[in-house]
Amino acid sequence: MLVEIGRSALRRILAGAALLLFLSATNPACASVFLEDQTWTELRDLVAAGTTTIIIPIGGTEQSGPAMALGKHNMRVKFLAGKIAAKLGNALVAPVIAYVPEGNIDPPTSHMRFPGTISISDKTFEQLLESAARSFEHAGFKTIVLIGDHGGYQADERHVADRLNAEWKRTPARVFAALDYYRFAQGPYTDKLLAAGATRAEIGTHAGLADTSLMLAVDPSLVRKDRLAGPPKLGPGDGVYGGDPARSSAEFGQLGVDLIVNGTTDAIRVFIASQPK
C-alpha cells in the first residue's frame, strides 16, 4: 500500500514537472526575467501580481584590450542582472543601456583613444537614465534599481536617484542606485582573487586578470584566449591597465560573479525593506 502511494505521488510530481516544461516551451516569457521578452499584457499582469522591481542594467561600449570584445560590459551586466532578478523573485530586467560616458571624443581621452569605444556626455546619460526611470514609474514599478558595470558613471547614477527620489517622495516609487554592485567587483573581489592564488600585479584595473576572468565566467565567447599572453606583455598601449590577463580563468571569475550577485541582491532587499509601506 505504501509503495503504491509512493508511486502515485511520484507520478503526480512527474506530471507536474512535465506541465511546467510544456508551459515554458510554449510560452518562454513566463520563465524570463527580461522585460523585452514580455508582451505588454504579460507585463501588466506581472506588475499587478507584485513584480514591482525593475533593474536597469548599465553597461558601456568600450575597448578592453586585444583579448576582450567591445560589448564586455553590456553582456556582463545583463547576465548578472538576470541572476540578481531571479534571486529576488519579484523583479524584471530592463534592456541594457550601452551608451555611456567614456571620455572626450575630440581630442580623444581615456578609452576613446581606441577604435570602437562610444561616448556620450554625462548630461545626456543622466537624462537617459531619468527618462527610463520615469517610464517604469508610469508602468507601475515601485523600485527602480540602477546597476552599473563601469566605474566612470557611478556618481551619475546617484545624482539621478537623488533627484527622482526628492521629486517622488510623496509617491510609492523609489530609485535605488545600487553602487555596491560595482564596489563588490573592486576590493572584495580582489581579496577573493588574492586568497585563490592570484597576485596584485596580475589583477589590474581594466582588462587584467580580474576583469577578464569575470568575462570568462559569464561568456567566454567574448574573450580571445590566444591573445591573453605575450610576448610582449600586454600594457597600457594595448588597453590593458595595471594587470596581466595571461592566467585569467572562469574559476577566478566565478568568485566575482557570486560576490556581485549575492551582495547586490542583499543590498536591494535591504533598500526595499527600508521604504515606507
CATH number of the domain residue 190 falls in: 3.40.50.10310
- pLDDT for 22 equals 40
Whether 151 shows a pLDDT value over 80: the answer reads yes
Answer yes or no: do 90 and 80 share one domain.
yes
Residue pLDDT, tens place only, 188-233: 999 999 999 999 999 999 999 999 999 999 999 999 999 998 778 8
According to DSSP, residue 93 is labeled E
Answer yes or no: do 211 and 151 share one domain.
yes
Answer yes or no: do 73 and 121 share one domain.
yes
Q: Which residues pair with 206 in a beta bridge?
A: 241
Half-sphere exposure of 49 (CA within 13 A, CB side): 10
Whether 23 shows a pLDDT value over 90: the answer reads no
pTM score, two decimals? 0.88
- pLDDT for 195 equals 98
Answer yes or no: do 44 and 27 share one domain.
no
Q: CA angle, 148 as apex, 144 and 153 as ends, to 5°?
A: 110
- pLDDT for 6 equals 52
Answer yes or no: do 190 and 232 share one domain.
yes
Answer yes or no: do 23 and 63 share one domain.
no
Answer yes or no: do 22 and 47 share one domain.
no
102 in Cβ contact with 111 (< 8 Å):
yes
> What is each CA distance from 71 to 77, 88, 144, 209, 272, in whole angstroms?
10, 26, 24, 18, 31
Domain span including residue 153? 33-274
Domain count, the chain: 2
Answer yes or no: do 51 and 85 share one domain.
yes
63 class by beta-carbon count within 10 Å (0-12 exposed, 13-18 middle, 19+ buried): buried
Answer yes or no: do 120 and 24 share one domain.
no
Distance between CA 230 and CA 86 in Å, rounded?
A: 39
CB atoms within 10 A of CB 190: 17
Answer yes or no: do 119 and 12 share one domain.
no
Q: Helices marked H in 168-197 — which ranges?
A: 180-184, 187-195
